[in-house]
Amino acid sequence: MRHWSREDQLSYLHTLPLAELHRHFDGSIRPLTLWRLSEKYYRAVPGLGFESFQRFLAWDPASDRTLLDYLDKFHIPLQYTQFYDNLLQIAFEIAEDAYADGVRLFELRLNPIIHRRAGLTTRQVLHSVRKGLLRFRATHPDFQVGIVVIAMRNHGGNMANILLREVAGEREDFHEQVGVVGFDIAGAERPFPPVLFGEAYALAKRMGLHGTVHVGEDEGPDRIWEAIEHLAPLRLGHAVSAAREPELLKRIARDGIAIEVCLTSNLQTGAVPAVAAHPLGKFLDAGIRCALCTDNTTVSATTLVGEYLLAIEELDLSADDVRRLAAMAWEASFIGWRPWEPEKRPVFAAPGAGGAPVAGGAPGAAAAPVAGGAPHAHAGGNHAERP
């Protein structure tokens, strides 16, 4: 079934309960919502119609080239995410969009500090986002969701420590259904090496939060080695440059570290010259667990189904490759388990008698989780909104 039709691909993907482990709050806001908020408050860029406004929110291949160009797309959304009700609405809509995309296990990345400019506290920011996610989950009980708190690299290690202490009471196990499950650092990699955040990751671990780290997107493999040695993460975000060093790939596989793969985003930021050149296949060959992710659905104009379709087309994935990737994403999730309680990890069963994969969390499910090392993968887009 290697050469399967687009109709077959979509049909199969729609049977899968997908897991999304890497989607940023401020990069995944509906353009129409931002447009309406700009009409309610003020125009961030005066004199623009909706079509022109969208160009400030999404990657423009005609003019954008680098990770810094990519990060520039977050400036306008932040002007409208400083208020409790707005954060609540946006969180609800992000959950709604994820669910419509087939996502049933969802980790949302959020840096509370950048949403505090109008006087909200860190806990108020988290409360508003959690409330929006809970409001959606109230009518969709099959949707599991957690929050990964981000510290910005350019804010420094001390601010990361402060942030963690502020979110100590927001852990998943302190709240019904939705809470903070992980910790991450993000933003421009240069000149902020991972070693600056060693104390923060140690604190996060003591707090029961699981570590992931943006690394190896704009920097070389040395930074990935540094992150592994000093931060001891369970997952790596992007980590594209790891493919340059076979010994590093062996270390990642040996330590059971999963890689969050964002194909469209990596192409846009210049981490890879083409999707077909992405090292996903090399990661899988090395026995590394990988999870396909969107990064930012609005900035990258993508969906999770779109990322799977892109991988199928450009990296020649089979149906079994897709199933294994989907399973590995569930296994790598931080939601609802602790490292010393592995039986609580979500289980993604193999196709059942009816042919459709199912997700479950019960120990001893009919099929064991798929381990890292899927077969070699020789290696979409957002719907338009109008006001």
* pLDDT, tens digit only, all 387 positions of the chain: 457 889 999 999 998 999 999 999 999 999 999 999 998 888 777 778 888 888 889 988 888 888 788 888 889 999 999 999 999 999 999 999 999 999 999 999 999 999 999 999 999 999 999 999 999 999 999 999 999 999 999 999 999 999 999 999 999 888 878 999 999 999 989 999 999 999 999 999 999 999 999 999 999 999 999 999 999 999 999 999 999 999 999 999 999 999 999 999 999 999 999 999 999 999 999 999 999 999 999 999 999 999 999 999 999 998 889 999 999 999 999 997 544 345 544 454 454 334 444 443 332 233 333 333 333 333 334 434 445
- Closest by CA to 242, choosing from 233, 340, 322, 343, is 233
| Dist. CA 164–CA 203, nearest whole Å | 8
pLDDT of the residue at 337:
52
pLDDT of the residue at 177:
81
Q: What residue type is assigned to position 119 of the chain?
A: G
| Dist. CA 130–CA 295, nearest whole Å | 20
| Dist. CA 347–CA 359, nearest whole Å | 6
Instruction: Look up residue 107 and give its two tokens.
Output: 């980790």
| Dist. CA 76–CA 58, nearest whole Å | 11
Yes or no: say if 349 and 359 are a contact pair by the CB < 8 Å rule. Answer: yes
| Dist. CA 349–CA 365, nearest whole Å | 7
Yes or no: say if 375 and 287 are a contact pair by the CB < 8 Å rule. Answer: no
pLDDT of the residue at 256:
97
- The count of C-alpha atoms lying within 13 angstroms of the C-alpha of 348, restricted to the half-sphere facing its C-beta, is 22
Cα of 105 vs its chain's centroid, Å: 11
The domains located in the chain, with CATH, are: 6-360 (3.20.20.140)
| Dist. CA 38–CA 59, nearest whole Å | 20
- pTM for the predicted model, two decimal places: 0.87
pLDDT of the residue at 175:
82
User: What are the φ and ψ backbone dihedral angles of 147, each rounded to 5 degrees?
Assistant: -115, 130
Yes or no: say if 338 and 208 are a contact pair by the CB < 8 Å rule. Answer: yes
